[in-house]
Amino acid sequence: MKNFSDYIVYVDESGDHGLQSLDPHYPVFVLAFCIFHKRYYSETVVSELQKFKFRHFGHDLVILHEHEIRKEKGDFTIFKSREHKNRFLDELTDIIDASHFILASCAIEKNKLTPQQVESENPYHLALGFCLESLYQFLAEKGQEDRLTHVVVERRGRREDDELELEFRRLCDGQNRLNKTFGFDIRFADKKANSAGLQLADLVARPIGLHILRPEQTNRAFETLKQKFYCQGGRQNVGVGYEQWGLKRFPQKSEEPR
């Protein structure tokens, strides 16, 4: 039997990872890693999300997708009023708030990249490198870095998945900024997979992007997430010591074009 770690990681993104065109309203790409302790995830998180679905839909087959909820598409045409939708969102935010997981994320501000970076960088692959490094550092703190940890991502297409797996394995083989070998394995999930972890990762990615773009704007979802970010200096810095740790931004201010 393989020596599996105590943690499982679910990944999702927000924004377009391409650089050919730039959405002026959302010129950012965010990759979010939600790191769960397996026992807690299976006993608590999955159960709470299922109960939420039973309350609102009568069954647990609904897949919570941020874009569809926001646009009120598919299963999310249930809202009778703005107040009804807000209660739904507040309850979902409370579940995220109460759930224990570590968040490692990276935001690529595409509108701040230099022409050279636009030519040479793939935002998804760049963000992946930063997030895998944070994941390794977290697992090392827990003494789990030598165990096998699975990283679950959603399928996007044959070509994209093949390119992602190649980059993932390159980074894990030691071609990363830490010059470490990462004991991670990538698993691809179908878009229709009813995974609680993938759904939570989907729900947290966009609030991070909105915070990056409009930090002065009220963002209750992000305020909740601040307590989840992997941070420097241990628990005493939760909610404040996450910049360039659990929330990495590229380019950093010193790297932005003048």
Measured distance between the N- and C-terminal CA atoms of the chain, rounded to whole angstroms: 54
What global pTM score does this model have?
0.93
* pLDDT for the residue numbered 258: 38
Pairing outcome for strands 247-250 and 4-14: unpaired
- Which H/E stretch holds residue 195? none
* pLDDT for the residue numbered 17: 76
* Whole-angstrom distance, CA of residue 65 vs CA of residue 46: 16
Q: Pick one of 3.30.70, 3.30.420, 3.90.550, 2.20.25 as the CATH number of 4-150+194-255.
A: 3.30.420
* Whole-angstrom distance, CA of residue 232 vs CA of residue 243: 9
Token output for 108: 């690529």
* Whole-angstrom distance, CA of residue 41 vs CA of residue 38: 5
- The domains of the chain are located at 4-150+194-255
Contacts of 94 (CB under 8 A, 6+ apart): none
Q: Per-residue pLDDT for the chain (258 aa), expressed as one digit of tens each? A: 569 999 999 999 999 877 777 888 899 999 999 999 999 999 999 999 999 999 999 999 999 999 999 999 999 999 999 999 999 999 999 999 999 999 999 999 988 887 777 766 788 999 999 999 999 999 999 999 999 999 999 999 999 999 999 999 999 999 999 999 999 999 999 988 999 999 999 999 999 999 999 999 989 899 999 999 998 765 555 555 688 789 999 987 655 543
Residues linked to residue 11 through DSSP beta bridges, in sequence order:
33
